[in-house]
Amino acid sequence: MKPSEIPVLVLGFNRPELTRTLIKKLAEVRPMKIYFSVDGPRQGIKADEELVAEVQRCVHLIDWGCNVQTLFRPDNIGLKSAVIQSLDWIFNNEEYAIILEDDCHPIPEFFDFCAMTLTRYANESKIMQISGNCFVPISDLNNSTYYFSSLNDIWGWATWRRAWLKFERTVPPHDELEVQNRIQKYFQNHEIEKWFARYLREAASNESQVWSTQWTLTLINNAGLTVVPQTNLVTNVGFISDATHMTSNSFKRYSEFAPKKIEAKHTPIEIIRNEQLDLQRFSLIKATDLNLRVSSRIRTSIRQIALDLFPKTLIVWVRVLKKRMTLK
């Protein structure tokens, strides 16, 4: 397929400048079909009314003879419902699609990459997502165009109807043995398991606006993998002061991964996740995820308090004993 033949879902809300920039990026590729979804203004927030209306008016910037479908909600239904319903909307009509939130700005090569991989893995049930992001060193990919991952970034991505139809509509209890076993079998890493279990627990709350946890659970339940490109192809420019759901300054580290064209020509033959690169990706998650950073600081503080309370001679004795046990 041609890159311009891939339908694109644009998700907007109250950030007209970001939406205008995204549409300018799309104009470089000139997609033939765009589904433009905008959530409604929040009740009691006067500024939303004009901002949302301004985002809706951005539809007139799509001026290259594109087939445009719109879903403009009169009232705000929240991020989680807005995204899920928008994905339902596009996949009721299309077999595959690219999904871009207003702050996810792609380079043209992202569409080339999606065209290649959406075609190649159209009927491969093991592959459930195409990512536009790469947050590991290029040199570690051994000159491969992409790798397979159990960690699925959604800052510019693509998938098929066949995969979205399996979306987990409800969040199961995180402490169910069957759920825990599936998570353990999928990630095969205790740290990553604990990290995801926390998000799964939070996703069960009625107040949660996170939809991506349920999408990750979908991949887990179906042993699905994500295709990750050799280089970063989409920039998330939403790490700014007016970001609605992403307020941790640590996430700005992702802006260091500037989009680059893929230079490699080798493509992996065997569909198997790259454990080494997944661990590297998770090391950045540990450095940027606010929950993990707080937990790490608490553990460090507790350890320091314990060291301060114990006599120094006892600490030295324990370290010597531990060293001897290791040598055995």
First to last CA, the chain: 60
Q: Are 32 and 4 contacting, i.e. CB atoms less than 8 angstroms apart?
A: yes
Cα–Cα distance between 286 and 281 in angstroms, integer?
Answer: 9
What's the pTM? Answer: 0.86
Pairing of strands 157-160, 96-101: antiparallel
pLDDT tens string, the chain, 328 residues long: the values are 999 999 999 999 999 999 999 999 999 999 999 999 999 999 999 999 999 999 999 999 999 999 999 999 999 999 999 999 999 999 999 999 999 999 999 999 999 999 999 999 999 999 999 999 999 987 677 789 999 999 999 999 999 999 999 999 999 887 889 999 999 999 999 999 999 999 999 998 888 999 999 999 999 999 999 999 999 999 998 764 444 444 456 667 787 788 999 988 889 989 999 999 999 999 999 988 866 544 444 444 445 455 456 565 655 565 555 445 444 4
What is the CATH code for 1-102?
3.40.50
Q: Are 238 and 142 contacting, i.e. CB atoms less than 8 angstroms apart?
A: no
Q: What is the largest CA-CA distance in the chain?
A: 78
In the structure encoding, which two tokens stand for residue 308, read together? Answer: 């301060």
Cα–Cα distance between 36 and 7 in angstroms, integer?
Answer: 11
Concatenated DSSP letters of 216-280 = HHHHHHTT-EEEEESS--EEE---STT-SS---GGGGGGGGS--------B--SS--B-HHHHHH
Cα–Cα distance between 193 and 17 in angstroms, integer?
Answer: 38
3-state per-residue secondary structure call for 82-128 = HHHHHHHHHHCCCCEEEEEECCEEECHHHHHHHHHHHHHCCCCCCEE
In the structure encoding, which two tokens stand for residue 245, read together? Answer: 């759901």
